[in-house]
Amino acid sequence: MKIALLVAYDGTNFHGFARQKHARTVQGELESRLSLLLRAPIETVGAGRTDAGVHAVGQVVSFDTPSSVEPEWLKLRLNKLLAPEIVVRAAAAMPDDFSARFSAMRREYEYRIYRSPTPDPFRDRFALWVPDRLTLSAMRAAARALIGEHDFSSFCRRGEGSMVRRVRAITFASRGDELIVKIKADSFCHQMVRSIVGLLLDVGMGKRAPEDVGKALRAKHRNAAGPVAAPRGLHLVSVGYPAGHSSGLTGSPRPGSLDPR
């Protein structure tokens, strides 16, 4: 039986999503509890391999069970064992060919920034404090160079094979003193979103010109983009699938998306 989970987590105290032999990770915690509940070794597949300190409200995890199980029972039992750091927001039986990673058609991340006069201890866990003035018009202009299919070698760690990716949209939403940078793509390479945000912040603060983003993209060298933004502001918010692979999970506001909002 194939099961999919819609998962949210506070990534602060985890060494990323992907399992590691000697470190506490989100996937490792999920697999440990699933194996306990189902009385068999369980290996999961995640839609996105978030880094240490990165959060999620819409991570999708899939796995095979050795026998039939009620998804709602599994959701309730997992939440008793894992909440509040990790919460299963929905669980559903899926077609046998479903894979949280390989069936995904798109992924969407948000990077949260707040611009109060002083740091806020109640927000700093999930957003980056930027006291400097940001010029949004310059950031929007800079982001246009990244839309479409490109080689994102300048924005990714080496050693992952092809770094050609298609970015569908980069948008900016301002709410009071909070700025949310939303990036949607078919897929992302390692540290790509944080590298993009780091460069856009430099443009917004006047440290670099908007045209530097296009130059960095064409350079195809990691040093061209500059430092990555801190992990705490990054959130995996949704993963999109073909309509037939998403209808089982509740909380999805539109066909083809396992979106918790």
Does residue 84 have a cis peptide bond before it, meaning omega lies within 30 degrees of 0? yes
Asked whether 1 and 248 are in contact (CB, 8 A), the reply is no
51 is known as an active-site residue: yes
**Helices 136-143 and 192-204, packing angle to 10 deg:** 140
Contact 111, 126 (CB under 8 A): no
Identify which of 153, 62, 156, 146 has the alpha carbon closest to the alpha carbon of residue 102.
62
Kind of pairing between the strands at 2-9 and 234-240: unpaired
Q: Identify whether the C-beta of residue 151 lies closer than 8 Å to the C-beta of residue 220.
A: yes
Contact 233, 126 (CB under 8 A): yes
Which whole-number Å values give the CA distances from 25 to 11, 32, 53, 165, 243, in the listed order?
9, 11, 10, 26, 30
Select which of 10, 51, 96, 177 is catalytic: 51
Q: What whole-number distance in Å separates Cα of residue 59 and Cα of residue 260?
A: 9
> Comparing C-alpha atoms, which of 26, 32, 23, 28 is closest to residue 10?
26
Q: Which residue has the tokens 């692979």?
A: 245
The residues annotated with a catalytic role in the active site are 51
